[in-house]
Amino acid sequence: MSVEKILGDWKKGKFKPVYWLEGEEEFYIDQLVNYAEHNILSDAEAGFNLTVFYGKDADWAAVINAARRYPMFSERQVVLLKEAQQMRDIDKLEAYIEKPMPSTIFVVAYKEKKVDGRSKLAKMLKEKAELYTTKKLYDNQLPDWTSELIRSKGYEISQKALLLLVDHIGNDLSRINNEIEKLLVNLAGRKAISEDDIERYVGVSKEYNVFELQDAFAKKDRVKAIRIIQYFESNPKAAPIQLILPSIYNFFSKAYMIFGQQARDEKGVAAAIGVNPFFVKDYLAAVRNYNYEGIENGLLLLHAYNLKSLGVGSTGVEDASLLKELVVKMMN
């Protein structure tokens, strides 16, 4: 069952006695718990019929006793167990889950992991509860997810702005959502998010970023590459070397894949190597400018400099100096 289906049922007044929300992606769990806490009951009902526990401090017996109470002045009550992964003796909840109160909506947020599938509790959840398991999105899924989130709010975003936003934040859906909300507040009636908006309100330079550095590498534009590296040197938090090198390595790895593909048109190449069609021209430019041997050599250099950035075979060398050396060696 999806988040949308659960929320849709709740909005229609259709409830099950137990909801067990588990897994690595906290964004969806928080979304459901927040709705359960603030929207299932009216303000008047919540005063008597909303109980919230936190796993670290909760006693299993107290949780079960609360869940077994009858609601007051309402058809139902809501009992929330947040951060349940920190609760001692959580398996003792089996007794309640086996025979839950029909008038109680018991929502458990078990973050960061899943219940051991071999345990009795896991088997009980599959039989008696609404079990929802989340997992982290793959990095290549983030642009589409973010774009769809923005569309669902009635806005749109340019491709470059989208990738700047996702690359800057990384795989943190809650933070992506928060930054988008901040952006929308500042659009002043506009419906489109631009690169300028990302620069102004998120703090990512539209000229000095990893994507522009990739572009400089692809085109063998040494002057532009050095200029961007100098910016990073002056603004260390903008793009640490541990972010830059894997990103450039991934770029050239994708370009390397093109040599094994029959497709040479932009749409076909994008599909074959799994990249956004908007950026496929950069990969094709790298193929033209470096050829097979050049890209293969570049990948070896990137691997070597990644080790140096971690202190293997190089000590006391500034990150910017390593990057400048890499530019010279790759572009020569």
- pLDDT by residue (tens digit) across 140-151? 789 999 999 999
Which has the closest alpha carbon to 103: 123, 81, 79, 125? Answer: 79
Residue 26, pLDDT score = 94
* pLDDT for position 274: 84
CA distance 297 to 256: 11
Regions of the chain short of the pLDDT cut 50? none
Q: Quote the strand ranges of the chain, DSSP E.
A: 18-23, 50-54, 77-82, 104-111, 130-134, 156-157, 192-193
Contact call for residues 32 and 6 (beta carbons, < 8 A):
yes
The architecture in CATH of the region 139-202 reads Orthogonal Bundle (1.10)
The residue type of 262 is Q
Q: Which of 131, 135, 134 is nearest to 19 (CA)?
A: 131
167-216, pLDDT tens digit by residue? 888 899 999 999 999 999 999 889 999 999 999 999 888 899 998 999 99
- Alpha-carbon span 284 to 281, nearest angstrom: 5
Q: Tell me which fold the domain 212-331 belongs to.
A: Zinc Finger, Delta Prime; domain 3 (1.20.272)
Rounded CA-CA distance 154/183 in Å is 13
Is-contact 49 70, C-beta < 8 A?
A: no
pLDDT of residue 5: 94
Alpha-carbon distance 83 to 57, whole Å? 10
Rounding to the nearest 10 degrees, give the CA dihedral for residues 162, 164, 166, 168.
Answer: -160
Question: Where would I find the beta strands (DSSP E) of 4-82?
Answer: 18-23, 50-54, 77-82
pLDDT of residue 8: 95
Q: Which CATH number fits domain 3-134: 3.40.50.300, 3.10.450.50, 3.30.1180.10, 3.20.20.140?
A: 3.40.50.300
Question: Cα separation of 88 and 78, whole Å?
Answer: 22
**Cβ proximity of 224 and 212 under 8 Å:** yes
Q: At what angle do helices 222-234 and 210-218 cross, to 10 degrees?
A: 160
125-128 long-range CB contacts below 8 Å, 24 or more apart?
A: 125/18, 125/20, 125/97, 128/18, 128/97, 128/98, 128/100
Residue ranges per domain, the chain? 3-134, 139-202, 212-331
Residue 310: per-residue pLDDT? 87
